[in-house]
Every structure is written in C-alpha cells, then in structure tokens.
A = this chain, B = another copy of it.
Amino acid sequence: MTSHEQQTSLPRVGVVGATGAVGREIIDCLERRNFPLSGLRLFASGRSAGQHLPWRGGMIAIEALDDRSLAQVDIALCSAGSGVTKQYAPTAGAQTVIIDNSSAFRMDPDVPLVVTEVNAARIGAHKGIIANPNCVAIIASLALWPLNRENPIRRITAATYQSASGAGAAAMEELRASTAAHLAGQTHVPKVLPHPYAFNVFSHNTAVDPATGDNDEEAKVARELRRIMDLPSLAIGITCLRVPVLRAHTIVMSVGFEMPMRPEAVREILSGAPGVVVIDDRGRNHFPMPVEATGRDEVLAGRIRIDRSDPEGRTVSMIVAGDQLLKGAALNAVQIAELLPKAGVYPNRPVG
C-alpha cells in the first residue's frame, strides 16, 4: 500500500459546532490524540463562518454548516444542539457516521448510546448515528459499570455539583464575569443562566416537569444510565445542581447493591477500572475535586465508604469527578470515532 493510498483511506472528519466549548475540545482531542484523518472540516453557524481555529500548527477556516456539509465527511462529530443534528442528519452521506453530542437521538433504539469503557461493542450496530451520552451519565457510568459487573446495582441516590461548562462557553464566561462583579461590589444581571452564579448554587437550569418535579437533566441522567448499562429497572433518584465551578462535574453517589458490598472491594475494583483513577487518601483529606479533574482524561473516584443510611450494608457512597468537556463530552465522542475501524464498521469509502 502506498502512502498516498494510506492517506486516502483515512476518514474525512467534520466538527459541527466547532466554535462551542465542546467543539473546541473535540478539535483539541483530535490533535493531541493524533487522530488518523485525511482532512478536517470545521462547521458552525453562519455567524462564525470565515473565522479560523488552530489545527496542527496551522489554521482552518470555519465554514457555515449547510445541506452539503455532512455528505462531504466520513465522520461528523456534532455538538451544536438537538435542533441542528435533527435538521442536518438527513443530509448526511451514505458513508457518514454522525457522532452526536446532543440528546436528540439518545433514546432512539436504532442509535447506540455509547460510553467507550462500558458498551463499546454497541458501536457496530449503528445505522449512521451514534449518540454521545449526557455528561453526568458518562462520568457516573465509568465508576458504576465495573461495580455492577461484580455485584448488580439496584438503587442509586445521587446529588450533582455541576460546572458552568455544561451550559456552554457563554455560561463559563458568565460565571467569571458575575464573580468578578461580585468581588468588585458591582451588580451583575445574569443573561445565560436563570440565576446569579457568583458564589451561588442553584437547581439545574433545564425545565422542571410540573408533574414529577424532576428537571430535564435529572430525567436524562436516569434514563441514559439505565440504557448505557442495560439495567432497565435500576432505581435512580438524582438531584442536579449547578455550583460555581468552571468545567468539571462532581457527583456524590450512594450505590445500593444486590448483595452486601465492602468499600475495600469497591476501591479495588475501581483501581483497575478503565478511565478511572482512585483518589481516596483519608489521612491527607485528599479526594476527587473538580479542579484536579479539569484537563484530565480520567474520571476521579474516591471517598469510598459505607453509606450509613442503609442498615443492611448493601450501600456504598463515593465521590466521582470528571472533566465535563473531556470525558463528559468531547473525549468520549473522539474515543467512539477511534473505535469505528475496530468495530468493523469503518466506512469503506470509494476513493476520489
């Protein structure tokens, strides 16, 4: 095989929503992981077209996404919201695989919902779209899945400490700007998020179901965790809050198992789990923290101990923290793309 043939057998990759917080991380992941590709296209709304973003020492011009864009790439890493994916998915080529970061297709039975460390085998069943799960669901699943294989999980009670990044780059900037204003004794009126963010905590900014009281984020995490782990009857009670943190989510979880479970066993299992780093130093009071999860590919897990609200000793609590933009979004999407050839479903695009 000549080097020319090798080159042309590599996929053409497109990033849709290239200027967003996740889009930029996708580009960064492709570059630092040296993703094998024959060409990179960056797509965004017309507003951003003509701007440039750095790529492998040079610059790439951003193109306005249109009806021809997705047909011109083999892998489309989409992070532009449900509306954009729904609108443009039908314009993809027969060879295009869309890896979508929105919630548009996550519960579609024809669309695999994949966390690469948990259910990569499902990638092979795709019909042109693979869904990247909700960030909290991804981060939690990395710690839950290896435990479930040893001792089936029956019940999860969780509370989240979610960062600004999940609401996009503008929310991260609002956190910075409102905090600076607060420190300067100035008033700041929130525009991106519904509540003041400086030194505050608030219930997640998605809509609340008037009947159940659950918000959209909580509903997504619960149903996606069940689907990712193939545990349709898993009981999940979760409360999602935003805290003034820039880009890593922290989750406190009480995990109820079918059989009694020792914290030592949990620690041992997680110490060998892919994508997980255990940080559980009781003597130095060192446990998972969002500032230490930031910029890391791995999810941090620790403070593993008996949950004393369960007198039967079947429940273990822990803290998990993960970079929302990396494993919670961009990195998992790129990891899915990396597995496409291994899954035997790599598009054998005719050259030319």
Contact = CB atoms under 8 A, between A and B. Distances in A.
A222 B175 CA distance: 34
Interface residues of A, number: 63
Nearest to A243: B243
Contact of A161 (B156, B238, B241, B308): B241
B201 A159 contact: no
A285 B205 contact: yes
A42 B271 CA distance: 53
Given A156-B309, A161-B161, A287 B244 contact: no
A326 to B, nearest CB: 17
Contacts of A311: 155, 235
Contacts of A256: 309
A236 interface: yes
A79 interface: no
A20 interface: no
Contact of A307 (B200, B208, B237): B237
A162 to B, nearest CB: 10
A319 interface: yes
Contacts of A201: 161, 243, 245, 250, 289-290, 321
A227 to B, nearest CB: 16
A307 B213 CA distance: 10
Contact of A200 (B199, B282, B291): B291
Given A161-B201, A179-B183, A309 B235 contact: yes
A284 to B, nearest CB: 8
A199 B157 contact: no
A245 B200 contact: yes
Contacts of A156: 309
A203 interface: yes
Interface stretch (A25-33, A109-117, A138-146, A298-306): A298-306
A25 to B, nearest CB: 18
Interface string A305-326: 1111111000101010100000
Nearest to A309: B237
Interface string A191-206: 0001110011111010
Contacts of A310: 155, 235, 237
A350 interface: no
Contacts of A241: 161, 250, 252, 319
Contacts of A308: 214, 222, 235-237
Nearest to A288: B203
A290 B200 contact: yes
A207 interface: yes
B157 A254 contact: yes
14 contacts: A159-B252, A195-B291, A201-B243, A201-B245, A209-B282, A210-B283, A212-B306, A236-B308, A237-B307, A237-B315, A238-B309, A239-B252, A239-B319, A241-B252
- 4 closest A-B pairs by beta carbon, nearest first, are A213-B305, A237-B309, A237-B307, A159-B159
Interface of A: 155-157, 159, 161, 175-176, 179-180, 183, 194-196, 199-203, 205, 207-210, 212-215, 222, 235-239, 241, 243-246, 250, 252, 254, 256, 263, 282-283, 285, 287, 289-291, 303-311, 315, 317, 319, 321
